[in-house]
Amino acid sequence: MKKHVSLLLTVGVLVLLMAPVDLWLAPNYWVKSAVKIIFFVVIPLVLNRVFNWVDLGELLKFKQKGRKLIVIGSLMIYGFIIGVYLIVGQWFDLSGVTVTLEETMAINRDNFIFVALYIPIVNAFIEEFFFRGILFLALTKYIKTGYAYFISAGIFSVYHVAIMTNWFTIPLFLLLVFSLLIAGLLFNWINAKTGSIYGSYFIHAVSNLAINTIGLHLFGIIG
């Protein structure tokens, strides 16, 4: 089996398996996070030893390249997300977000600060390792880079559909899915420029910080 075919099949199956966990099976966010680590880190690491998709030493090496780009990109993405919320948020009813988080993930006002720290520090790294490291950077070795861009960003966007299905109204949901596709393309571009997953990881983490800042506001933790 060609390496890129085995890679795509593996990613596709793991994302499909993770969807029902996000939607129905796992009782809270921490159980889902444990399952996600198994699906998106442990299993890919084991299979990478078999198929040798990517050199893990090179993938996980911290490089100095593109530091200015990462800092500027992080500041811009944080300001953009908060700005969009301040402008567009008043047009949509977001009260259902906190209700859905409490009902489906056991995330509430009391534990949200811990979740808000875990997501940018740990969860962002898990997703960057899986979607940009194992998938995008590996795919660029086997298929045309343009295809790798859209495959990785598309799967990244579709994966989050299962997470956000019941969070928002249809127009806002579609806007967010499109935004995730653009974000995936941006993260891929950052990785291509910096040559590692850390560039997109830092910007992804800052994006999560911006979203969690909004969450702190929705939960009434900050004004």
pLDDT tens figures, 58-77: 888 887 777 888 888 899 98
pLDDT value at position 36?
93
Burial of 62 (0-12, 13-18, 19+ CB in 10 A): exposed
Specify whether the CB–CB gap between 195 and 63 falls below 8 A.
Answer: yes
The pair of structure tokens assigned to 119 is: 């997501």
pLDDT value at position 67?
83
Specify whether the CB–CB gap between 132 and 187 falls below 8 A.
Answer: yes
Task: With CA atoms as reference, report the closest residue to 15 among 107, 130, 129, 117.
Answer: 130
pLDDT value at position 91?
73
**Along the chain (223 residues), what's the average pLDDT of each consecutive run of 10 residues?**
83 88 74 92 94 88 81 90 83 70 77 91 95 91 91 90 64 78 92 86 93 89 81
Nearest 10 degrees: Cα torsion 215, 21, 106, 111: -60
d(CA 119, CA 116): 6
